[in-house]
Amino acid sequence: MRTIHGSKISLVVLAIVLLWLKTYIAYKTSFEIKIENWRQEFILFINPLSFLMFIFGFSMFLKENNQRHYIVFSSFIISSVLFANVVFYRFFNDFLTLPVLFQTSNMSDLGSSVNQLLNWSDLWYFSDFIFLFFLLKSKPKFISFRQYSKVERRVFMLLAIAIAFFNLGWAEAERPELLTRTFDREMLVKNIGTYNYHIYDVFLQSKSSAQRALADGGELVDIENYNRVNYKEPSDEMFGIAKEKNVILISLESTQSFVINRTVNGEVITPFLNEFIKESYYFDHFYHQTGQGKTSDSEFIVENSLYPLSRGAVFFTHSGNEYRATPEILNENGYFTASLHANNKSFWNRDIMYDSIGYQRFYSLSDYEVNEENSIGWGLKDEEFFQQSIQYLKEMPKPFYTKFITLTNHFPFELGEEDSYIQPYTSSSKTLNNYFPTVRYQDEVLKNFIQSLKDEGLYEDSIIILYGDHYGISENHNKAMSEYLGEEVTPFVSTQLQRVPFIIHIPGQTGETISTVSGQIDIKPTILHLLGVDTKEDIEFGRDLFSQDTMDFTVLRDGSFITKDHIYTREICYDKATGEPTAELNVCEPYIEKTKKELEYSDSIIYGDLLRFYGEQIEDSHESK
């Protein structure tokens, strides 16, 4: 097909070229896609082309007037998809998935967070659409508006197919088993392109929907055997040490471990936590394991000891599943269970999911007095939240299991002057600068809350557990983080930065720092064993962190993992002692298979809703004995 008809340029080809170049520029300026050689760069450059040729190629089958409207409309839609990915990436350092698009009910609550991610220069992402729109209005002579012959259409489509196969073949050669690495979205986008990735994502969503319909209880057998082999007996000394004590579980919003025992501008960031740790069990090599579901993912992991999904949030996509979560188990053991969070009950679909995991009561936004004076950022200030929650704790049946979800230390980290205890940091990142004052505020609030528990007589009868829910500072701020840390944020350092606080305070117990490599997936069995609840029959991937046989190993949702001596991330095995790639490449290999197996087993449980067969499997097991 001739791209120039006489001296005229084909509108179809012009639209393709404009979007192609814009997409490649966006790759290089808006996403941090690691390129290792010229082959990967070439794949990145050509990967939008086949998709754009298919989409705009359909216009060649339309009548002239419809062709014009189709091209402009398609340009707008594709530009919108690209822009949505750019905005999403700015905060989450990730690409959109279909399940995330279904989470639109969260958008109305995002408020200032979204506003912080947008700026006027973003109009550039629609520049080709605007240009094409004005071309159609002015109808310049150098643009060709015409019908295409059958031969031209066939040649065009065959060329698009050839480019698609060429792209996929070269990508598969560069990265074998590419399409099986569905948890690595950067790898997929780098090789097949943003737009083709979204098509593949639709396929994955359809596949996951079919998994539940086709699943049966037999799939649990291998998973149960795996759990049985990896089960570690709890510590004789710690098992049941907190039996019949209240449990106060506090999710620390966006709190990472790098703030603990550190200063900014000469001021201590977490003075209360630094002291509280001394009289508690503190796990200083503890990692968050969340995916796209962020806080909801952390809740899911903590309550179920299962991994979240690599796409979307389980709270949205599989809230109707059957689970065997901590609240349900404790209900059976005489506990009153409640979650407290001063946000809309439907945010992250909590009102539905909490029923599925067994919470008896959800204290949400309607249970709190919220006004402009006591709110900032995402809503009710943490100080007010805890103060108003004390009364609910006093009224609850005892013993209780409660989960508090804090809110103030949330992007974009807004704080009033009256609540600022330290000055912002000064770096190239406004996000990092404002992060430290909101962490300091949260620390002060926790100090006041603990004092209130003492004043109300609840402190001595409760174990208090604090954990960070997910990162607060994404890799988009690595330059500023390097300034603060005084070292380059390499993939090795970035993985270390995924550590979050995990603190267990038990009345009468002295403090101890435990350096076992661990993660949020270990919280469920650890809590239940402290309360004297046996978990040997439960299907879970965590382990009791007080067990003498506990293994130094934890898995992140992106497929990275951490052991006692090594970190494996982005397909590189690092030596912890040096921070450099290890010369002994085989030291990470045994854990690669273990990581893959655990993530696949957990995904199977969620996609197939396999725990609905849990009761049947237990009965069959007992009968066989």
Q: What is the per-residue pLDDT across 546-598, written as a single tens digit (0 to 9) for each?
A: 998 888 999 999 999 999 999 999 889 999 999 999 987 689 999 999 999 99
Residue 571 per-residue DSSP state: T
Residues 22, 412: Cα–Cα separation, whole Å:
28
Report which of residues 19 and 7 the model is more confident about.
Answer: 19
DSSP string of 283-311, one letter each residue: ETTEE----TTHHHHHHHHHHH-----SS
| Catalytic pick among 182, 295, 438, 563 | 295
Residue 465 per-residue DSSP state: E
If we measure between CA atoms, which residue out of 52, 51, 54, 28 comes closest to residue 40? 28
Q: What is the pLDDT of residue 625?
A: 42
Q: CA-based angle 313:474:563, to the nearest 5?
A: 80
If we measure between CA atoms, which residue out of 295, 235, 302, 268 comes closest to residue 519? 302
Q: How far apart are the first and last CA of the chain?
A: 73
Q: What is the pTM of this model?
A: 0.78
* Residue 182 clears pLDDT 80, i.e. is over it: no
Q: Please state, in angstroms and as integers, the Cα–Cα distance from residue 545 to each residue in 239, 501, 549, 552, following that order.
A: 11, 14, 9, 10
Cis peptide before 507 (omega within 30 of 0): no
Residue 260 in tokens: 């603990």
Residues 390, 402: Cα–Cα separation, whole Å:
12
Residues 122, 30: Cα–Cα separation, whole Å:
11
Q: Please indicate whether residue 578 is annotated as part of the active site.
A: no
Q: What is the pLDDT of residues 292-323, one digit of tens each?
A: 889 999 999 999 999 999 888 898 888 889 99
Residues 274, 251: Cα–Cα separation, whole Å:
17
**CB contact at 8 A, 331 and 528:** no
Q: What is the pLDDT of residue 622?
A: 43
* Residue 171 clears pLDDT 90, i.e. is over it: no
Q: How confident is the model at residue 148 (pLDDT cuts 50, 70, 90)?
A: confident
Residue 297 in tokens: 């993912």
Q: How confident is the model at residue 7 (pLDDT cuts 50, 70, 90)?
A: low
Beta bridge partners of 237: none
Q: What percent of the chain has pLDDT over 90?
A: 59
Q: Please return the burial class of 591, using the count of CB atoms within 10 Å of its CB with bins 0-12, 13-18 and 19+.
A: middle
Domain 231-555 in this protein, CATH class:
alpha beta
**CB contact at 8 A, 525 and 582:** no
Residue 431 in tokens: 């996000």
Domain boundaries defined on the chain: 4-211, 231-555
Q: What is the pLDDT of residues 77-104, one digit of tens each?
A: 999 989 988 888 876 677 777 666 655 5
Q: What is the pLDDT of residue 558?
A: 92
* Residue 115 clears pLDDT 70, i.e. is over it: no
Residue 511 per-residue DSSP state: P
Tokens 């506090």 belong to 250
Cis peptide before 412 (omega within 30 of 0): yes
